[in-house]
Every structure is written in C-alpha cells, then in structure tokens.
Structure 1
Amino acid sequence: MEARYNLKSPAVKRLMKEAAELKDATDHYHAQPLEDNLFEWHFTVRGPPDSDFDGGVYHGRIVLPPEYPMKPPSIILLTANGRFEVGKKICLSISGHHPETWQPSWSIRTALLAIIGFMPTKGEGAIGSLDYTPEERKALAKKSQEYFCDACASTMKTALLPLSSESSQDDTEARELARQISFTVNPPGISQAEGSGTIPKPPETEQNTDAVLQAEIHDREAPSGEEEEQPAPTPNVSRSPRQRRAQQRRNPASPGLIPVQQHTGDASNTGSTLLIVLLTLALAVLIFRRIYLANDYIFDYEL
C-alpha cells in the first residue's frame, strides 16, 4: 500500500502512524484502513457498559479527507444500534458535519472513544441520530454480534479482545471525552440539537439595530448610482461673465439665486455691448473726419 501513496504527504504520514498504533485490537475498539484505500477505515467498537448498548459490538466506516488531520473524517455506522442511523454520516463535533469544532490533535482513536461515549446520550434530532426505546436497543445489541462485514471480512464475535479488568480505563476515558466534546459543542443554555457543533451568533444590541436601520434608511433615500448633491459654491464677483456662465452650467444654483445671477449677467452683457457700440461710432467719426480733411486739403492744393 505504501507504494501507492506519496509518503511525503502529511495526511499519508499521519494515517500510516495511526494505522501502526491501532494495529492490535483492544477489548473496546479496533480500526484499520482497507487494503486498497488508506483513506477509508473500518472500525469496531464495543457498546458502553451499564447502558442499553451493553454487550453490543458495532461496526462502521471512517472516510478521511485528503486534508486530514486539518479536516475531520466522516463516520458511518454499518451495524443497527438504535442510536445512529445505518449507512448515514452521523453528526458529531468530531465528524465532517462540523469542521469548525474539529481539532487536528484529535485522531481516529479519539473518534472511536467519542462514538462509545456518545452512544448513551440523547440524539435530540441531530443528523443521523435515533432515539429507539431501551428494549429495542438491547435487542439490537444482542443481534449485533452476528454482523459480518464483506468489505473487510470482519466478524464481530472475534473483532475485539474479551473484556478484562483493565477495561474500565477506556470506559472512563470515553465518557470524559464525550463530556468534553459536548461542553465544547454546546454552550450553557444551548441544547445539542440547537448547538450540535455550531457556534451561535451573539444577539444584536440596540445600538447595532439602530445602525442597521439608519443604513437602510440612507440607502432608500439615496438611490444607488447617484451621488449626493453638493452645495453650490458662493459666486465669485471677480469672475468674468463667461466664467460665471460656465460655473452655473456645472453647479446649478438654488432657485432663489438664479434671478440675481441672471440679472447680474444681463447687466454686464448690456454695458459691454453699449460700450463697444460707442467706441465703434467714435472710431468711425474720427476716420470719416480724417478722410474729409484729407480730401479738402487736396482740393485746395490743386486750385
């Protein structure tokens, strides 16, 4: 199998290491990758003692992403148990349903212990959860030992070691792990169905609500694509009439100022025109006078 994978890949290195650590079955759990797929594991866990699952041996699949351990695995139970749906990805804080709560320090062993610890808890509507009666779960626990997996050729009666006096340590670790994960997933006052691995948003304060309302009102009053009208600058009396007209076209003034600006511009235009006419007439008189005097001088000279 090693020749098929890039041994420099962090995921491959991690899975190879975990496969070596979990090679030998214990009395509570066992997991190994398939012979032809390092990223799909089959596992077997024993039902927690003093529960509806006592005496049961349950088999399932763990599908790991290429980004493992930075992303969580998906966990699927194959044995009917009355707590998790068969053949469906279950929703736990250590599964692919909640990558926001997954920690890269967790491992496949962590997932196995978490499954054992979560089995006696209530499903409360989480994805892939079931809430069978205690009688139904106990009946399925007895029947689970008859399960055989065609994919990995595992027989439940021989998949795990017999229970020993040291089994209580794994039981305690599984229960403690389930409590820690539950506390991480569900903040105080949030049920597992509501939290279930998600971090609730904090309630909006009155100040935030007012800010949102003001922004909405502003958006409605100022349509998109239009800039707010800028106040017209104060007219500069030192500008020429042409400059004032150009300024008026660029920045229209308020209605109250238009007559004043128009009157000022008209008076300036009239005065300039009148001055030009007077200067033209004066120049014409001077030219006519000079021509008349010149002709009169020539006439006297000839005589």
Structure 2
Amino acid sequence: MESRYNLKSPAVKRLMKEAAELKDPTDHYHAQPLEDNLFEWHFTVRGPPDSDFDGGVYHGRIVLPPEYPMKPPSIILLTANGRFEVGKKICLSISGHHPETWQPSWSIRTALLAIIGFMPTKGEGAIGSLDYTPDERRALAKRSQSFYCEGCGSLMKEALLPLSSGSASSQADKEAKELARQISFKADVNSSRKSVAEPTESSEFNHLASSSELQQETTAFQDTTISEVSENQSNSATSTQEERIQPVSNNTSMSPRQRRALQRRVPTSTNFNQVQQPRVNTSHVGSNLLILLLILALAALIFRRIYLGNEYIFEL
C-alpha cells in the first residue's frame, strides 16, 4: 500500500502512523484501513456498559478527506443499533457535519471513543440519529454480535478481544464518557457563539427589508420636496414676497413638511430680490448719465455753430 501513496503527504503520514497504533484490537475498539484504500477505514466498537447498548458490538466505516487531519472524517454505521441510522453519515461534533468543532489533534481513536460515548445520549433530531426504545436497542445489541461485514471480512464475534474487568477497560469507558462530554460542550459553546456573532437569515431579511423601506421613504420625501420646490418657484415668478409668506402662515391644509419646505424657499427669494435691486438702479443711473452726456455734446455743438457764425459775420 505504501507504494501507491505519496509518503510526503501529511495525510498519508498521519494515517499510516495511526494504522500502526491501532493495529492490535482492544476489548473496546479496533480500526484499520482497507487494503486498497488508505482513506477508508472500517471500525468496530463495543457498546458502553450500563446502557441499552451493553453487550452489543457495532461495525462501521470512517471516510477521511485528503486534507486530514485538518478536516474531520465522515462516520457511517453499518450495524443496526437503534441510535444511528445504518449507511448514513451521522451528525456528531467530531464528524464532517461540524468542521468548525474539529481539532487536528484529534485522531481516529478519538472518533472511536466519541462514538462509544455518544451512543447513550439523545439523538435530538440530529442527522442520522434514531431514538429507538430501550427494549428495541437491547434486542439489536444481541443481534449485532452475529453481524458480518462483506467489505472487510470482519465478524463481530471475533473483531474485539474478550471483555475483561481490568483497569484498562474501565479507563477506556471513563475516557469515552469524558470525551463525549467535552466534545458536546465545545459544540454547544461554538454554536452559541455563532448565533451571537452571525445574524440569522430572518434577521438579515428584516434588516434588508427595513433598509429598503427606509430608502423608499427617502426617495418619496425627495420627490415630494422637489415637486414642492418647483411649484414654489413657479408661484414666486408671478407673486410678490407678501403673497408667498401668507400661505405659509395661514394655510392650515398644508402638512408641516410642506410648510417647512416653503419657509426654506422664502429667504432665498428675499435674498434674490435684494441682490437684483442694485442692478436695476445701476442701469437706470447709467441711462441718465448717457442722456446727460448727449445733451452736453449737443449743447457744445450748438455753441460752436453759434460761435463760428458770429466770427464769420465779424470778418465781413
């Protein structure tokens, strides 16, 4: 198998190391890759004691991604057990359904212990979870010992070492329970942080809807203001300043917004008249000055004619 894979790949190195560590079965779990596929493992776990799965031996598949251990594996149970669906990827905080809770320091052994620890817990509607009755689970636990896997050729009666009451077995049970509790706690914490940090789809929709409504109201207000200003400008061309001020103070049918818009236009008209008035006076003074200059020029011309006429008579 080694010649088929790139030995420099981190995933290949990690999986070969774990395969060497899990080569020998224990009385609680065992897992090994298929002969022709290093990224698909078959595993066997014993049901946790003092539970509905006590006495059961359960078989399944672990499919690992090429990015392992940076990404989590997918876990599929092949033995009917009443807790996980058969042939379907189960949803655990250590499986591919929750990559946000996966840690690269975890391993296939961690996944095996997590499966054992999660079996007595409630499914709560998770993907691939079942909630069979205790009697049904006990019946499936007895039948699980006769299960045979055609994929790897494992028989459940021979897959694990005989169960013993030594310290190693009790330690594995405690480790599985503690691991399941820690993983479940981490998943709950991460999900709560995610719900606080990221808005839900409905809140995003409400935010977008409120923004759209605000934009529509703003556009409508701008259109109303423009129409009001245009109307005021057309009225100001044919009416005096007093006629423009009178509707603002006496017309009670106008809305407060219309009154404020008209009031904003009045000072502009007043300033416009104040600026234009000197232009009219200046042009009037210029006209008077031009007439005066013409009169003076005409007078000078008449005076010259009279002077030249008198001088001509004097010479005669």
Give 1:263's aligned residue: 273
Q: 2:180 matched to 1:178?
A: yes
Q: CA RMSD in A?
A: 3.2
Name the CA distance, whole Å, in 2 between partners of 1:102 and 1:88. 20
Whether the 8 Å CA contact 1:98–1:198 is kept in 2: the answer is no
Q: What's the TM-score once normalised by structure 1's chain length?
A: 0.73
C-alpha change, 1:287 and 1:157, in structure 2 (3 Å) is farther
8 A contact 1:100–1:198 mirrored in 2: no
The 1:265/1:173 distance shift into structure 2, 3 A limit, reads same
Aligned to 1:108: 108
Once the two structures are TM-superposed, the CA of residue 116 in structure 1 deviates from its matched residue by: 0.7
Question: SS at the partner of 1:198?
Answer: helix
Q: Is the 8 A contact 1:57 1:144 kept in 2?
A: yes
Residue matched to 2:133: 133
Give the number of aligned pairs: 260
Give the partner amino acid of 2:191.
Answer: T
Query: What does 1:178-257 correspond to in 2, within 5 Å?
Result: 178-186=180-188, 198-199=191-192, 201=195, 222-223=218-219, 254-257=264-267
Give the structure 2 partner of residue 167 of structure 1: 169
Q: Which moved more, 1:108-117 or 1:274-283?
A: 274-283
Report what 2:241 is aligned to: none
**What 5-or-longer segments of structure 1 have no aligned partner?**
188-196, 204-211, 230-251
Query: Per-residue deviation at 1:286?
Result: 4.6
Whether 1:124 and 2:124 are equivalent positions in the alignment is yes
Are 2:301 and 1:284 equivalent residues in the alignment? no
Q: Which amino acid aligns with 1:119?
A: M
Q: What whole-Å deviation, never above 9, does each CA across 1:18-52 have from its counterpart, x for those lacking one? A: 12211222221111222333222211111122322
* Bigger Cα Rg: 2
4+ long deviations beyond 6 Å: 215-218, 294-303
- Kept after mapping to 2: 8 A contact 1:33/1:39: yes
Deviation at 1:86, TM superposition (A): 0.7
Partner in structure 2 of residue 34 of structure 1: 34
Structure 2 vs 1, CA of residues 46 and 269 (structure 1 numbering), >3 Å: closer, same or farther? same
CA distance in 1, matches of 2:184, 2:74: 18
**What displacement does 1:3 show?**
3.6
Distance 2:296 2:8 in 1: 106
Whole-Å separation in 2 of the counterparts to 1:219 and 1:65? 47
Shift of 1:81: 0.5
Aligned partner of 1:239 in structure 2 is none
TM-score of the superposition, structure 2-length normalised?
0.70
2:51 counterpart residue number: 51
The residue that corresponds to 2:252 in the other structure is none
